[in-house]
Structure 1
């Protein structure tokens, strides 16, 4: 069975792997289409081919299979806080505070004006830091399948935070907070946390799941629908939805695929 799944992964195209990664990041077909510059119907076609190759029928099962095949980032317990930091900023961008913060904490980093997936893909673990990212930057980082930290140079409204979350960023730190928060944020991201707009390290209790929440997570990992989860647990669909909502908030997720991905990265589900 394992060898058969490995053979299936070998037939996934680069575009299909990118779509699968974006599904795991919680992106909808509409958002995937916008990031990749293709139509929503083309995204759906890619998804159908991914499902066929992985032997699954929907998104949660595809993410669960991808985790089993090692296509997503390793769980937090296997992460190294000293991983490389790739800082992407275009000429003229305010990067002085960023590089100074990294230097003062002894963090290895590379400053690059261009993001080239082919150049970085097989060079070990790294975190990508985007200073004032553009839509093109989001597309490039989707190919990396590496954690992304966003640094806006100007503090704005919640729309920017929502955009960063929509594109799968793991953290957002305002430029003015970089000296105090950047390296701490990088360490937390390396351990699987999602931190937006300079919030503090979540309390340990926020990562402790109740028995029912774990039941829901296990059901998601199996690939059950809401109705199947309700039947298997002997509870109502409404109770599943309410419990699932609390689970999503704890995991910083917007939907089932992203909840499963984040739970895996925090070591809450086995690979």
Structure 2
């Protein structure tokens, strides 16, 4: 069985990632860990295809984190997610990481959105990773142009305030659009909405 190991700093983030993975039909594929020690312990017993890591967990040295992972399993793809200095990002890729997904900061729902987006981008490349589940949508669901703009902002890991600034509207207005698009997508939260949007081809 293919494995995506998601490394985050808090139990709350791990719970949200697990819930998102379940909603995407990836409960048997995605596993979460909270410390670098857990990463190494899991890789001792399990073949891991992708290590998707919150940059905050890989600090103070994402470059050495990448090297340590690849020393245990050279074929594993390492992807960093979160806010990272461009110079450090380049060094991390030079050390063997597959890439860096910007967005989300170090804590909160926006980071979970960024991690969920990364899972959706990575998993189509892993044979058998994505399975259709009951109720999965396959196309647009009547979102307005403004709701699509808000959804795209969410998929890029932006906060409601950042989306509001981009669209020249208040944060409260963005929250109203968000509630409406959640309802149309049948989503419980931002991470779920982004997962549904990527899975259904609403955003790419």
Q: TM-score, normalised by structure 2?
A: 0.49
Bigger CA radius of gyration: 1
Q: TM-score, normalised by structure 1?
A: 0.38
